[in-house]
Structure formats: structure tokens, C-alpha cells
Amino acid sequence: MLTQTARSTRHALTRTCPPRLLRLLRLPECSTAPRSRYRLLLAEQHAPDRAFSTSRIHPGRFLISEGRTTSPPDEHAQTQPSTSPFYLETGYSIFAKRPSRPFPPPFVSAPSGSFSDPLTTHNSPRGRRPYVNGQLVRGITNGDDAIIIGDANFIAVDDGVGAWAVKDRGHAALWSRLIAHFWAVEVEKSFAAKNGQVTLDDLNPIQNLQDAYEQTKAATKGTLKDEEDDPSSSSSSSPEAKQKAIKAKDGDADNDKDKDKGKDKPGENDILGTTTASSALLHHTSATPPVPVILATTLGDCKVLILRPPPPQSSSSSSSTGTPDSSSPGGGNGTTAKSKSSSGASAAEEVDFSKTIVYRSTEQWHWFDCPRQLGTNSPDTPLANGVCDTVEVSPGDVVAVLSDGVTDNLWEHEIAETICTCVQKWESGVDEAKDGIVYVARTLMNAALDVAQDPNAESPYMERAFDEGIAAEGGKLDDISVVLGLCRKRESK
């Protein structure tokens, strides 16, 4: 929870000195107005259900990052090189509305508080990188979100529920990061078990997510010793809990029922949190020639989109905004856009970018602003609520895995237009698009961020709130996670 920190003596001096002396000493005057506004922002932060101007900006607290992979440079691949005839050219761009909580021990090694132990104080071999079960936790944390680009053509975005930040033991960022880590590990195990000779029937991302969920619950549980003694028990290890367990053995049926109902309740030392989950896994059919296939898996309100951008037009130049002045066949949609003889701007208006969407996942909700989620006190599980769709794609298709920070601020046709336009710039050799797929991800993230920070913008989140009878204005300032993969055919040697 954010608290106002003590001011420095420099600011304390400005509260007591006359304004003329402050100007002589070249010190800023201490006005009460900024402090009152600061307290107002804090009060509104602690009342999220009451404040619906969702685009408040907190300068200096944004974290933006981008890249092609989430694996550190010094991390060696955990799996053998892929033998798939297809691969994903990946890139990501992320924005955090606030820094996440530091990961607690044992996931990170806290530095020593004494200078008598220089090896642990100054030269920690693990640094601040999180570990679980002796392995480096893969992926990247983005506020309460987590993203990962795996070794097996696997990309994922998990959106941690930020409301856990007000809980003493709440840590949605840790939950989302661990789910992403274990999910990628389980997917890679599926390929390793068959020595790379894997068919579509051998892949089960839903079961992989279920296994990741179980491992995350075990990793965040503070009663591992009790679990070793009684694997069927998930109660707290406190003396009071043990006394209740002894009383339950006396044959009281009601107590037995209560104990069964409380098996999934968090213990006193558990780390609390929930997260949504979404991923895309690229594989191929066993036909000759093989056809690339995306296994799109979702639980919650994160989005998976697959788009087929029209090729860039070589016969005409792009308009000043970078949008192609004519369109081309829409590929798998069977839609052909007619060429226009008018100006490039008018032709761009005729392009229906929504028809470039080959596949869209369906968002899952309990109610407005409460998606299905995995974690503490949630009834949802991957096996019961997860959805996995198999979609045939083509080389050149783009798969986008997006957090609700994107879909709450941009409509689907805006997402499609941004991605397709950027891909066309990239393939046309435009200098500003030289970063390739990272440029596409960056542009989409910035487009969502522009709306999120605009208190007067129209947004999908505002529209859904109106449908529920809630007065909301502007975009929704949230963590924004964009992970993209462009399907490529591997060059035969």
C-alpha cells in the first residue's frame, strides 16, 4: 500500500521560512495545494470502486520495456533446438502503471544486513533474479502482469489481479509470473517426452496450465511441512489448526464436512493472488506438406488474436500516415478488397481491417470487471474453465497475445489496423519500422497507452461500463502487455 513518505529537511525549511527569504535562497515555496492534491490521489487510489476516472496519471512511475525474447542473455536453452518446419518471430512491448511488489523470499535472496559478509552483501551470485525450485523463474514481470516467450514456439500473457496489492500477503505479480514460468516448462516437457516427434494429439495446453496452476499453489503455500506429513491436507500449520484437525477425528460429521470445505482456503503463511492466463503455441499438422497450427488457450479476459495482414503494395506509395493506399486479398477470410483509383487516404478508408482477423478468443467473465481467474479463493480451474482452440494459419500470419490493458482501450478493428499497417511498413522497408516485430508491438502498446491516459477518450471499457449502468470516462489506465509472433517457414538446409 502506498504511503506518504517523510519530506526532507529542505522541504521542511520551506514550510517555516518567509517567501522572500526562500526566493533569496533559491528554494521552492512549499504550497499546500500540491500536498492536498497528493492526498486526494492517494485517497482515490485506496477507493478503486468509487473512482471511475480511469485515466489518472502518476508521473515518474511508468515502466516501459520491449524486446524480442524474455530469456536473459546468459540463460541457456532448456530444450533441444526445434525441428519444426515453422517458427514464431517474436517481439514484445510492455507498460506498467506502477512497479510491482518485490518478490519475497525464498524466490529472491535478500542481501545481508551486515558488512561482515561481503560475499552475500555485495557479490550475491543470484542477485535479484527470482528462483523457484532451484531454477530461474522465466519470463518478465510487468506491474501485476507477466509475459513469457518460450523455447518451443510458445508465447503467453498472464494478467495478475491488482486488487491483491492492498492485501498484506497479496502478490498478484508473483502468481502471474509463476503461472507463466511453470506453463512454459510444462509445454517444453511435452516436446521433450517425444524427442521432438510430437503430433497435435500429444499437445494439451489446458493440462499444462493445470499442472502449472498446481505447482504455483504449492510454491506459494507456507505449509509445505504439513503437506509432506499429510498430502491430502491443505490446512494451516498453526497450533490452532492442528487442534481443530484432532477434534475432527472424534467422529463429528459436521466438522468433517467443514474441513473438506476448507481444503482450498489459504493458510496463514500463504502468498495470495489470482491471475488470468492466455497463450499461443505454434505447431503443425502431420500432413504432407505440413500446415502450421496455433493452439490458442485462454482463461479470463486476456485476448488472443490471429491476423492475416495484406501484403504491401509495390505499385503505389503509402500515404503520409503510413497506411497503404490500396488493399489486397484478405487471405484466409476469402475477402478481396477492391483497388481504388482515388487518393491513398480515401483508399485506406475503404480497407476493413476487421476482416484480417482470422481468429479471436472469447473473453470469460463472472461479472463486469471480474474475469475468470486462477488463484486464491477462485472457483475457476484450467480443466473446468480453460478454452483451447486449434487454428490453422499460414506463414506471414501474426498472432497477438494481449492483456486487457490493450483490449480495454482499443477496439478490435483498431488493433487489427495498427498491426497490419505496421507490418506493411516493415515489409516495405520503411526506416522507422527497422525494428521489425518489436516495432509492431511498440506501436500497438503506445496506441493503447494514448487512450489509457486520455480522460476524454472513448474506449471499450467505458462502453462496457455504460452497458452496466456505471458512469465511466476515458480510457482505463492499466498494465499493458503486448506479445506478438509472426509465423515463419524455416529455411530448409
Q: Is pLDDT at 213 greater than 80 in this prediction?
A: yes
Q: What is the pLDDT of residue 62?
A: 59
- Cα distances from 234 to residues 221, 228, 260, 356, 365, in angstroms, run 9, 10, 10, 48, 28
Paired sense of beta strands 63-67 and 86-96, if any? antiparallel
Q: Is pLDDT at 251 greater than 70 in this prediction?
A: no
Per-residue pLDDT band at 75 (split at 50, 70, 90): low
Per-residue pLDDT band at 199 (split at 50, 70, 90): very high
403-420 per-position pLDDT tens digit: 999 999 999 999 999 999
Q: Is pLDDT at 282 greater than 50 in this prediction?
A: yes
Q: Which residue has the higher pLDDT, 472 or 89?
A: 89
Per-residue pLDDT band at 258 (split at 50, 70, 90): very low
391-401 per-position pLDDT tens digit: 999 999 999 99
393: number of Cβ within 10 Å = 24
d(C-alpha 488, C-alpha 459), whole Å: 33
Q: Is pLDDT at 50 greater than 70 in this prediction?
A: no
For residue 358 the three cell numbers come to: 482470422
CB 398 within 8 A of CB 292: no
Collapsed DSSP state (helix, strand, coil) of residue 190: helix
Q: Is pLDDT at 450 greater than 80 in this prediction?
A: yes
The radius of gyration of the chain from alpha carbons, rounded to an integer in Å, stands at 26
Q: For the chain, which residues make up each domain, given as ranges? A: 9-45, 63-173+274-310+351-489, 224-261
349-376 per-position pLDDT tens digit: 567 888 899 999 999 999 999 999 999 9
Q: What is the pLDDT of residue 105?
A: 85
Q: What is the pLDDT of residue 193?
A: 81
Fold of 63-173+274-310+351-489: Phosphatase 2c; domain 1 (3.60.40)
> Could you give the angle at which helices 205-219 and 172-192 cross, rounded to 10 degrees?
130
CB 241 within 8 A of CB 210: no
Mean pLDDT taken over the chain: 76
Q: What is the pLDDT of residue 108?
A: 83
Q: What is the pLDDT of residue 320?
A: 39
Q: Is pLDDT at 205 greater than 70 in this prediction?
A: yes
